[in-house]
Structure 1
Amino acid sequence: MAFDFDFSNPSAFSLTDFTPNGDAEFHGSLFDLTANTYSGGINNSVGSVAYAHPVPLRDNTTGQVASFTTTFSFGIKITDGNNKGDGVAFFLGKYPPALPPNSQGGALGLCTDYCDVNKTAGDDRFVAVEFDTFNDRSDPNVTYDHMGIDVNSMVSVANLSLLSFSLNRTMSARVDYNGSAGVMNVEIQSYSSIRRTRSSMELRRPTTLAPRWTSAPCCQQRWPCIEFSAATGASIELHQLHSWSFSLLPPGSSSSTASSMDEDFEKGSGPKRFDYAQLSAATGDFCEEEKLGEGGFGAVYRGYLKEQDVQVAIKRVSRGSIQGRKEYTSEVKIISRLRHGNLVQLIGWCHEGRELLLVYELMPNGTLDTHLYNPTVLLTWPARFKIVLGLGSALLYLHQEWEQCVVHRDIKPSNIMLDASFVAKLGDFGLARLFDHGRGSHTTNFAGTMGYMDPECFLSGRAGPESDVYSFGVGRARLVEWVWGLYGSGAVLEAADERMGGDFDRSEMERVMVVGLACAHPDGNLRPSIRQAVSMLQCEVTLPKLSATMPTPKYS
């Protein structure tokens, strides 16, 4: 179970997925959790917004509690520095959701009459993470602002004092729960025009998320509800929810998806974790002057890491892109494990709040498409032939030489990078999939780029090594039929880029053209494997005899 809602993007969510209670309402691009007016809040207001579906937190067969991670962006706005309170909470409570009576003020919409002496019991139990802006009788009195973890009571079992009045802006928070170890970690980040701050706390308590409402087998109504609540008392402030993502891991998992990546990447000599502040500084706060390019799911910036004294390329995933988050996860899970001279090296990664960033080695000569389609730039034939062989070597490693078969699914010139020596390096593994060797093609979701994507995928929805071989053969979109016609008339060399003025090795050029046509054969079963294709390019085996005309595709 997982979701990712950005309330400023209407296509990213449906209001039917939420149950508001009390004074909570959706207003355009966010949820107001209390009765807010933009000149100030209203006192003694309380409201909650719940995910409208129960969460299967405990496995009914084994009794194990699942792990989860949730991130959310929320705002607290204090309209009068001497008159503020009370705060916001993320919590797990009973399903279906209901707002307790008399839960305004310091109760934060979690329980009746503060429940600081008599804890809640039965179905009214809850586990909450509070972001509190007012000192009530049960709160620590070091500062006004604090965050805490509450279990069935407003007396926190773990708390962290924050700077007074620091909970007074838009912030992002992340809660990770490890179901196996019973560990909850909470992190909050806030940004201002001056600086970014981050605070975190941890609670180790194995029984924290094992109240009775997770134990009844086959009873959905005993599964918990996940929700947000907020309240004001005699004092007022605004409380708003801007975005929310949640991922549930199977019972017995050691951590959330992000935490799992943290553990994997920090082992050995692989990619390392960077702080957002480091990467922001490296790119001049992601200024336009450092932007190298922009795609459907984010932009890429040039950056300089002072500590390592190295130039890098930093990909910043668009905040509102659900697909971008999926690609980020795929990228870090796959490319971080691969080692080959013709693959772009992933140096590091960062996921803080809603920011997802990938750090790569910088390719000084950009992408292949900038050279193929630029009338003022000419790649010599030796450079082109080396690029073809390099890409073939990368695909041979991915398809046959690594421990699993990696199908890239988006091979095209803009994903082929060129280093200072014009060595080709394949990048962008956001759409890649892993398969066990020998299992053949697999049904997948529709993915790829028109013109380079295997047309058979339109019919079957199946992608495999043969799909990558097709894209490798195409090289440049919408040329296959024309080149095949030249091949049939014995004039295939006329397809060479006329800007080279005939300055190329004719034998190498013919091999590249014929191998390209063989790889782009309309019938995937008749295409060579990437090993066979590379062997043809290197003169290790003879070229195939193709039909004089392009075979009629069965998908035509």
Structure 2
Amino acid sequence: MAAALPPLHLLLEVLVTIFLLHPPVSRTDDSFVFNGLRAANMSVDGAALVAPNGLLTLTNATKGQTSHAFLSAPLRFRGPPGDGVLSFSTTFVFAIVPVSPEVASYGMALVVAPTKDLPRDPPGPFMGLFNSTNNGSATNHILAVELDTTVHAQYRDIDDNHVGIDVNSVTSLNSASAAYYGDGGRRKENLTLASGNPMQVWVEYDGGATRLVVAVAPVGRPQPETPLLSSSLNLSGLFFEDMYVGFSASSGKALTSQYVLGWSFRVGAGKAPDLDLSSLPPLPRTGNRKGTNPLAIWLPTVLSASILMAAAAGAFAVARRMKFAEVREEWELEYGPHRFSYRDLYRATKGFKESELLGVGGFGEVYRGVLPASKIEVAVKKIAHSSTQGMREFVAEIVTIGRLRHRNLVQLLGYSRRRGGLFLVYDYMPNGSLDKLLFDRAEPTLSWARRFHIVKGVAAGLLYLHEEWEQVVIHRDVKASNVLLDGDFNGRLGDFGLSRLYDHGSGPQTTHVVGTMGYMPPELARTGKATKATDVYAYGAFLLEVACGRRPVGDGDRRLVNCVLECWGNGEVLKAADPRLGGEYEEREMALVLMLGLHCCNPSPAARPSMRQVVQLLDGDAALPELSPEMMSLGDHGGSWHLQVFDGVTSSSYASSKFTESVLSGGR
């Protein structure tokens, strides 16, 4: 006989109890809101896991991880047959927490994909979305919004702190440096994705207008009226009827944890439901390495020690404290995230051991190091600085420069101070400085293709400094020894120890003359003002030394610029090319670099091109005007010479063939 069914009122009580036990989650088939992902039915792999409090961990500060976390069931993104992709809206709160402050590797992404089984090998720039064989394939059918904290030039990353829209490839369709538009879009505030602080992302797709927009802001701020990214994008050919939604992440040498705290999604008209920020799970507490005082290092108290042993221990502690003693002042608290402990730098460089010495320059010694906690390779520059005059302004400027983000600049990570010394910490560049490969005859010479790629990269970096960052940065020491090469032989301009900053629209201030002989323009000694044109002159000298394989001042006191100008005057400009290349170079590119070097080294600042014009010329979007022989006066020992004024070549209407013919045919 069948068992009797329970009374109806008991069933109702059970249903009410179940509902009351799970109040934070609301969901329909294709919409949901999770204030913490405890109740989300997630399919995870790699290091990904959902903690009991609802915090989704993607990577957990372990080297070489790739992880995914997808909703177990797909969402339906298409309406009736024949209709396009439906509108959808989503928002989530994330945090990227590096072990070493603001130094993260790779990144994470929101993903819409036809499958949950995305690649897990290898960890790296693909962020678990693709691999080397399918990256860029139209068969992927993947849309991702990446939060990228590493720059990879081969995938056209703009910097190591950007948001991008990816379609079937990690080469973003559209990207921008992380920023928040406040005050109705009137004020732009830069954000650091790897700050360790929670941030909120909004992604909205308008199926009718076929437009995707992305915005990001610190958690607690309203959704910006002006999005960070807006792209015309028709997803009809990309999305199937059912697609999986989730997150993907990857970590590398710079140990990083990546989290998702809350997430909501809606397919169809309207916005994704708001998250209840007060209900989101907290981030794990981490040790406050920034606040650790290396001056307070004491040996454990040994209760049974004799007076003699205690005295010896005390003497040892004092000596150890003196060894790692630092100069710390109250005003430096605001620069805490950029401050390294001297103890860590001492350990990283094995006590500034001679075997770790990378080189010695005019402003100090540079050592290779491995930070003890994060195991990140760095370069530590040790500068003598016994005076405290102007130190606050100098540190403020160093910290400001540390915010620069460009694939062709060496990243300044921070600094440390102790009496009589200042220590600057940079990204480590495994292939060293460019001048060693140009002038060290024991090394194989760089090919012309690599040299041309390097000079273009340095030009892009200088353009960023002069025009594209929030302030104008004058480098003041552009030269081959300050161009470092990363693992892929990309040129990165480094050593900002002499740099000066000023606001766009204002003028540079008079200062004492600094720089390197052969790279300093003649007007600098007269005016004492370093300008954009000062850097352009140095860049011109740099172009000539890369093309010719010779330093700007050599053969006695004869300047390289005069030697090149003489070759041009004799109709043999290519004769100035580096003989170590053995003629293995593209003649048009070599001629372009030599002639552009002459234009940049014009004694008249007004006659020099801007860095924007330099980039256009190197990219083939414009052609140089011809030199005027009548305005040229050669001198064997730094004599003056004059070219016609560079009058703003920006048009792409100049035929490259005409430029090649005029240059290769010589001057007279």
Report the TM-score when normalising by structure 1.
0.52
Q: Contact 2:602–2:641 (CA<8 Å) still a contact in 1?
A: no
State yes or no: 1:311 paired with 2:377: yes
Where does residue 505 of structure 1 map in the other structure? 586
1:51-450 aligned at under 5 Å gives the runs 190-192=318-320, 196=323, 259-266=330-337, 272-318=338-384, 320=386, 329=395, 332-377=398-443, 378-450=445-517
Where does residue 24 of structure 2 map in the other structure? none
Where does residue 545 of structure 1 map in the other structure? 626
Gap change, CA 1:197 and 1:463, over 3 Å in 2: closer
Q: Contact 1:330–1:431 (CA<8 Å) still a contact in 2?
A: no
> Which secondary structure state, in structure 2, belongs to the residue aligned with residue 357 of structure 1?
strand
Q: In structure 2, what is the Cα distance between the partners aligned to 1:281 and 1:437?
A: 41
By how many angstroms is 1:263 displaced? 1.5
Q: Contact 1:301–1:315 (CA<8 Å) still a contact in 2?
A: yes
Q: In structure 2, what is the Cα distance between the partners aligned to 1:324 and 1:481?
A: 40
Q: Contact 1:317–1:328 (CA<8 Å) still a contact in 2?
A: no
Gap change, CA 1:323 and 1:429, over 3 Å in 2: farther
Q: Greater share of strand residues, 1 or 2?
A: 1
Gap change, CA 1:198 and 1:396, over 3 Å in 2: closer
- 1:439-491 deviations in whole A, cap 9, x for unaligned? 34542211111111112111121210000000000113131011111122221
Counterpart residue identity of residue 459, structure 1: R
Q: In structure 1, what is the Cα distance between the partners aligned to 2:563 and 2:628?
A: 14
Counterpart residue identity of residue 395, structure 1: L
Gap change, CA 1:301 and 1:450, over 3 Å in 2: same
Q: Contact 1:297–1:317 (CA<8 Å) still a contact in 2?
A: yes
By how many angstroms is 1:363 displaced? 0.7
Gap change, CA 1:545 and 1:382, over 3 Å in 2: same
- 1:267-320 deviations in whole A, cap 9, x for unaligned? xxxxx4322111111111111111111233321111112321221111122254
**Paired residue total:** 312
Gap change, CA 1:507 and 1:282, over 3 Å in 2: same
- 1:394-423 deviations in whole A, cap 9, x for unaligned? 110000111111111111111111111111
Q: In structure 2, what is the Cα distance between the partners aligned to 1:344 and 1:450?
A: 23
**Larger relative contact order, structure 1 or 2 (CA cutoff 8 Å, min sep 6):** 1
- 1:75-94 deviations in whole A, cap 9, x for unaligned? xxxxxxxxxxxxxxxxxxxx
Counterpart residue identity of residue 482, structure 1: C
Where does residue 524 of structure 2 map in the other structure? 457
State yes or no: 1:469 paired with 2:469: no
Gap change, CA 1:502 and 1:434, over 3 Å in 2: same
Q: Contact 2:384–2:420 (CA<8 Å) still a contact in 1?
A: no
Q: In structure 2, what is the Cα distance between the partners aligned to 1:315 and 1:471?
A: 23
Q: 2:613 aligns with which of 526, 532, 536?
A: 532
Q: Contact 1:318–1:324 (CA<8 Å) still a contact in 2?
A: no
Q: Contact 2:599–2:608 (CA<8 Å) still a contact in 1?
A: yes
Q: In structure 2, what is the Cα distance between the partners aligned to 1:498 and 1:197?
A: 50
- 1:299-354 deviations in whole A, cap 9, x for unaligned? 11111123212211111222547799699637623421211111111223222444
By how many angstroms is 1:379 displaced? 0.5
Structure 1 residue runs of 5 or longer lacking an equivalent are: 1-162, 170-188, 200-244, 246-255, 267-271
Q: Contact 1:344–1:361 (CA<8 Å) still a contact in 2?
A: yes
Q: Contact 2:386–2:419 (CA<8 Å) still a contact in 1?
A: no
Q: 1:487 aligns with which of 546, 560, 568?
A: 568
Where does residue 88 of structure 1 map in the other structure? none
Q: In structure 1, what is the Cα distance between the partners aligned to 2:397 and 2:508?
A: 21
Gap change, CA 1:451 and 1:198, over 3 Å in 2: closer
By how many angstroms is 1:376 displaced? 2.6
> Which secondary structure state, in structure 2, belongs to the residue aligned with residue 463 of structure 1?
coil
Root mean square deviation, CA, Å: 3.1
By how many angstroms is 1:550 displaced? 3.8
> Which secondary structure state, in structure 2, belongs to the residue aligned with residue 394 of structure 1?
helix
Counterpart residue identity of residue 430, structure 2: P
Q: Contact 1:443–1:460 (CA<8 Å) still a contact in 2?
A: yes
Gap change, CA 1:375 and 1:322, over 3 Å in 2: farther
Q: Contact 2:433–2:480 (CA<8 Å) still a contact in 1?
A: yes
Q: Contact 1:470–1:519 (CA<8 Å) still a contact in 2?
A: yes
Counterpart residue identity of residue 263, structure 1: E
- 1:69-119 deviations in whole A, cap 9, x for unaligned? xxxxxxxxxxxxxxxxxxxxxxxxxxxxxxxxxxxxxxxxxxxxxxxxxxx
Q: In structure 1, what is the Cα distance between the partners aligned to 2:497 and 2:597?
A: 25
State yes or no: 1:520 paired with 2:591: no
Q: Contact 1:262–1:273 (CA<8 Å) still a contact in 2?
A: no
Report the identity percentage. 44
Q: In structure 2, what is the Cα distance between the partners aligned to 1:511 and 1:167?
A: 68
Q: In structure 1, what is the Cα distance between the partners aligned to 2:439 and 2:392?
A: 30
Gap change, CA 1:262 and 1:294, over 3 Å in 2: farther
> Which secondary structure state, in structure 1, belongs to the residue aligned with residue 538 of structure 2?
helix
Counterpart residue identity of residue 447, structure 2: T
Gap change, CA 1:327 and 1:311, over 3 Å in 2: farther
Q: Contact 2:364–2:384 (CA<8 Å) still a contact in 1?
A: yes
> Which secondary structure state, in structure 1, belongs to the residue aligned with residue 520 of structure 2?
coil
Gap change, CA 1:198 and 1:422, over 3 Å in 2: closer
Q: In structure 2, what is the Cα distance between the partners aligned to 1:404 and 1:538?
A: 25
Gap change, CA 1:303 and 1:547, over 3 Å in 2: same
Report the TM-score when normalising by structure 2.
0.43
Q: Contact 1:399–1:405 (CA<8 Å) still a contact in 2?
A: yes
- 1:416-440 deviations in whole A, cap 9, x for unaligned? 1111111111111111111222334
Q: In structure 2, what is the Cα distance between the partners aligned to 1:435 and 1:461?
A: 15
Counterpart residue identity of residue 368, structure 2: R
Q: Contact 1:294–1:300 (CA<8 Å) still a contact in 2?
A: yes
Gap change, CA 1:345 and 1:375, over 3 Å in 2: same
> Which secondary structure state, in structure 2, belongs to the residue aligned with residue 425 of structure 1?
strand
By how many angstroms is 1:553 displaced? 3.6
Larger C-alpha radius of gyration, 1 or 2? 2
